[in-house]
Amino acid sequence: MAREHRWTLASRPSRSSGIVEQLAREINVSEPLARILINRGIDTYNKAKEYFRPSFQYMHDPFLIDGMDRAVERMERALESEEKILVFGDYDVDGTNGASMLYLFFRKLGFPNERIVYHIPDRVKEGYGISRYGIDRGKEFGATVMIAVDCGITAVEQVEYARSQGIDVIICDHHEPGDRLPEAYAVLDPLKPGDAYPFKSLCGCGVGFKFIQAIAKSRGNEEMAHEFIDFVTLATAADIVPLTGENRILVKLGLERINTNPRPGLRALIESSGLRFGKLNSGQIVFVIAPRNNAVGRLGDAMRAVELLTTEDEATARRYAQILEEENRNRRKIDEDTFIRAQELVENFLDLDNDAAIILHQENWHPGVIGIVASRLVEKYYRPTVMMTTVNGVAKGSARSIAGFDIHQALKRVEDKLVQFGGHKYAAGLAVEVDRVDEFRDAFNAVVKELMSKELLVRELSIDDEINLGELTPRFVRLLHEFAPFGPGNQRAVFLARGVEVLGSPRIVGNNHLRFKVRQNGRVLDAIGFSLGDMKDRLKQLIDVVFSVDENDGYGNGDAFPQLKVKDFREAVNQIP
């Protein structure tokens, strides 16, 4: 079924200001490219230089994060006093990479094997976040310091328990704080009230990186932290945080390192997943690497991901990479079975004309895949979605949202119906007493209906600029490629071309993909609309088409030429409705 979109064309900077012409002239790009940059906040030569040539020199001082002085002081004291430390990470890509990074950095700093241990909680047995079991494991090991990465900002009781066991806790988190902060030795979270750190969108591993960067800086050797940037790259891309500011610098530089000098575990994972070594990009991290990294935590012990990421032995790396590959295949089978059942429930029992949200609970669903399935339901039905299963007598699950709707705030409005919840604007975890699931469903649906505008329920297709196909020169396409790495906040540029002529006979290829040729002002280009085969009959002789641009070297001489990656089209009109 063809999806409806509302087209939103970005406003153009005022021509009278001269800012477009000035930027285009200063950095030697066309005006359409200059307009796109300006709308992304890149409106001066210096900002463009930072954007196209990112460097560690453009990153903020890590000591601007509140609590960083105390955190660094405590770790230096632990090293000097030969204390033992526990690194505690979440079971997703952000948490396992954060734990791996901290573990290897502290090993390099001088903590030998017998004085450092890591722990990743079991998703089913321990649940999300800092667990008593993990604290007890640290106590048994003899740890007096615990560093929690990608979790801990709402762990008030758990931190108090750790303190009672003689363990100082340093939290490196990026989630929204609750009404009360844990009484940890140091809480590092840019979202903490009163924190002056200028960049608020780091992932958990990113906050951990600022921690090791601060330690390295305090020792007069900040470059010591740079070799661990690959972990931050994987975590940042996989956690779907905005690829702007520091995140874009970290991912850009980290990809360069991964593609030239990957550590053994990552090399093995790239090779086992069938990717081309040296060509890894942010999209491949999200759709290929991250699911394999996550799979071992979804279906079992996530510490296997840390074993892979931290090993220096190539044979061990290949063995663990194969384990991740196998677990990912198992995960996909469970994922598909769950998705089929979830669709049946939606089709048979929900009224999407009246239900503002999808809330599903089945006691036997695997807790490791419900977040993935919730995202797939959002993609199919375009409604905020909550998927829950029963774990130890409690309905636990994942919430996923649509563009523009803050699901974390919606959950906060019904927190009296919840055992606990936490997360972000677009993704959250929650727990509900099983006998209150229906009560939660009614309350949450009412809140979503109250907060949701009808406009948000129609997918928005954001368009960067209107252009003529003749402007898509090889140089234009090459410069578009320099906008990478792509991700939230820095998506591939999307264009609108009006009055484009459709040539020949469009055909459906592959898995329902629509392929055709277009012409404008004598310029003929190939176009493909992935999964748009159902729209073939809507193609008219003249269309307005929305697309991004793929870069191809079809001439074999290094010159890039454009292919339109079609997102939507309509019969040609004079203006956007």
Average pLDDT over residues 324-345: 96
Tell me whether the omega of the peptide bond preceding residue 485 falls within 30 degrees of 0, making it cis: yes
What long-range pairs does 252-258 form, CB within 8 A, spacing at least 24? 252/54, 252/484, 252/485, 253/54, 253/55, 253/56, 253/229, 254/229, 254/230, 255/280, 255/281, 255/282, 255/485, 257/227, 257/229, 257/230, 257/233, 258/230, 258/233
Residue with tokens 């305090």: 218
Residue 420 has pLDDT above 80, yes or no: yes
For residue 127, is it left (φ>0), alpha (ψ between -120 and 50) or beta?
left
Average pLDDT over residues 232-254: 96
Say whether both 399 and 480 belong to one domain. no
Say whether both 437 and 560 belong to one domain. no
Q: Across the chain, what does the average pLDDT equal?
A: 93
Average pLDDT over residues 297-302: 90
The residue from 226, 248, 280 where one domain ends is 226
Average pLDDT over residues 449-458: 92
**Residue 283 token pair:** 């999209």
Average pLDDT over residues 263-271: 96
Q: Is residue 91 part of a domain?
A: yes
**Residue 30 token pair:** 């066309």
**Residue 531 token pair:** 């999964």
Residue 441 has pLDDT above 90, yes or no: yes
Say whether both 417 and 490 belong to one domain. no
**Total of domains in the chain:** 3
| pLDDT digits 0-9 by tens, 212-236 | 999 999 999 999 999 999 999 999 9
Say whether both 448 and 566 belong to one domain. no
| pLDDT digits 0-9 by tens, 499-518 | 999 998 999 999 999 999 99
CATH of the domain at 78: 3.90.1640.30
| Contacts for 44 with CB less than 8 Å, ≥ 6 apart | 23
Say whether both 104 and 192 belong to one domain. yes
The confidence score (pLDDT) of residue 213 equals 98
| pLDDT digits 0-9 by tens, 480-493 | 999 999 999 999 99
Residue 143 has pLDDT above 60, yes or no: yes
Say whether both 447 and 465 belong to one domain. no
Q: 102 phi and psi, to 5 degrees?
A: -65, -40
Query: What percent of the chain stands above pLDDT 90?
Result: 87
Average pLDDT over residues 299-313: 95
The confidence score (pLDDT) of residue 2 equals 52
What confidence tier does 103 reach under pLDDT thresholds 50, 70, 90? Answer: very high
Say whether both 123 and 220 belong to one domain. yes
Query: For residue 359, what are the β-bridge partners?
Result: 386
The confidence score (pLDDT) of residue 474 equals 87
Q: Is residue 115 part of a domain?
A: yes
DSSP states of 403-447 = TT--HHHHHHHTGGG-SEEEE-SSEEEEEEEGGGHHHHHHHHHHH
Say whether both 502 and 517 belong to one domain. yes
Q: Is residue 516 part of a domain?
A: yes
Task: Give the angle 324-85-205 at the CA atoms, nearest 5°.
Answer: 50
The confidence score (pLDDT) of residue 487 equals 93
What confidence tier does 576 reach under pLDDT thresholds 50, 70, 90? Answer: very low
Q: Is residue 232 part of a domain?
A: no
Report pTM.
0.90
Q: Is residue 305 part of a domain?
A: no
Average pLDDT over residues 82-110: 97
Say whether both 69 and 212 belong to one domain. yes
Residue 552 has pLDDT above 70, yes or no: no
The residue from 432, 457, 482 where one domain ends is 457
The confidence score (pLDDT) of residue 551 equals 63
Q: How far apart are CA 236 and CA 202, in angstroms?
A: 7
Q: How far is CA 213 from CA 59, 76, 221, 226, 286, in A?
A: 11, 13, 9, 8, 25
The residue from 191, 226, 261 where one domain ends is 226
Residue 172 has pLDDT above 70, yes or no: yes
Q: Is residue 538 part of a domain?
A: yes
Q: Is residue 320 part of a domain?
A: no
Say if residue 503 is exposed, middle or buried (CB neighbours under 10 Å; 0-12, 13-18, 19+): middle
| Pair 477, 549: CB distance under 8 Å | yes
Q: Under DSSP, is residue 567 helix (H, G, I), strand (E, B) or coil?
A: strand
CATH of the domain at 373: 3.10.310.30
| Pair 247, 206: CB distance under 8 Å | yes
Residue 247 has pLDDT above 70, yes or no: yes
Residue with tokens 């977040």: 371
DSSP states of 349-418 = H--TTT-SSEEEE-TTS-TTTHHHHHHHHHHHH-S-EEEEEEETTEEEEEEE--TT--HHHHHHHTGGG-
Residue 359 has pLDDT above 70, yes or no: yes
| pLDDT digits 0-9 by tens, 72-86 | 999 999 999 999 999
Q: Under DSSP, is residue 114 helix (H, G, I), strand (E, B) or coil?
A: helix
Query: For residue 460, what are the β-bridge partners?
Result: 6
Q: Under DSSP, is residue 275 helix (H, G, I), strand (E, B) or coil?
A: coil
Say whether both 558 and 516 belong to one domain. yes
What confidence tier does 561 reach under pLDDT thresholds 50, 70, 90? Answer: low
Residue 553 has pLDDT above 60, yes or no: no
Range of the domain at 483: 460-571
Residue 273 has pLDDT above 70, yes or no: yes
Say whether both 438 and 494 belong to one domain. no
Q: How far is CA 47 from CA 55, 70, 194, 245, 481, in A?
A: 12, 33, 27, 10, 18
The confidence score (pLDDT) of residue 156 equals 96
Q: How far apart are CA 285 and CA 274, in angstroms?
A: 12
| Contacts for 252 with CB less than 8 Å, ≥ 6 apart | 54, 484, 485
Q: How far apart are CA 293 and CA 289, in angstroms?
A: 6
Q: Is residue 155 part of a domain?
A: yes
Q: Find how far residue 531's CA is from the centre of its chain.
A: 23
Say whether both 101 and 180 belong to one domain. yes
Element spanning 145, H or E: strand 143-149
| Pair 270, 317: CB distance under 8 Å | no
| Pair 99, 231: CB distance under 8 Å | no
CATH of the domain at 508: 2.40.50.460
| Contacts for 423 with CB less than 8 Å, ≥ 6 apart | 175, 176, 399, 407, 408, 411, 429
The confidence score (pLDDT) of residue 322 equals 97
